Structure 1
């Protein structure tokens, strides 16, 4: 059974991200998908550019995204998340606003806005 609803696709993407399952995550993206900064520059286009971005991120041992809120409007899904990261300066979190456009059961465009980095006390590298 193919996942087709935008909500189900984006949830599958988040689940794969948290499981660090690169193949499952890439299966939620269209082959020619694009990632942008919100209202800004192209970050990556197509699996060949998107895959290494996630592969590098998945090397972080404490990587975890926690969904705070989600809105769905037609083919668009907007998530607000708190992401735990292993920053060069130490362990911390960052808020992420993620806007996904889903067509034919795949993410075709994703835009991301990143909030302020917050390091955990006593986590300096």
Structure 2
């Protein structure tokens, strides 16, 4: 069976994120996937560390990511998003740059850069 395209995997990840469907979201990540701050620190490694990050985020009632642009280059996908969140100071948005590497139908590496937060 042919794995889904990198584009299909990243779209499924975004759809699961917006649906707050933790199991569907985790299915898009390889078991040993890694998440990083873009050009920086490791944020999480493997499902055991990635899952709690999303569980916490999914508790936010207004959580939603709106895709502004997407670039596909082979098995790399770069998304620019505006994410609505519930910050301690109140509801707001944050710009996010998300870079995904997809191998054999799963995200193996994801890097994130946060832009401006607006309340």
Aligned residues: 119
Instruction: Identify the residue that residue 62 of structure 1 maps to in structure 2.
Output: 62
Question: Which residue of 2 is the match for residue 99 of structure 1?
Answer: 99
RMSD: 1.0
Q: What SS is found at the alignment partner of 1:34?
A: strand
- Unpaired runs of 5+ residues, structure 2, are none
Give CA-to-partner distance per residue, 1:12-50, whole Å, 9 cap, x none.
Answer: 000000000000000000000000000000000000000
* Structure 1: gaps spanning 5 or more residues: 120-125
TM-score scaled by length of structure 2: 0.98
Conserved 8 A contact 1:6-1:76: yes
Contact 1:9–1:106 (8 Å) recurs in 2: yes
Structure ID, larger Rg:
1
CA-CA distance at 1:2 after TM superposition? 6.7
Instruction: Give the 4+ runs in structure 1 shifted more than 2 A.
Output: none
Q: How has the CA–CA distance of structure 1 residues 39 and 97 changed in structure 2, closer, same or farther, with 3 Å as cutoff?
A: same
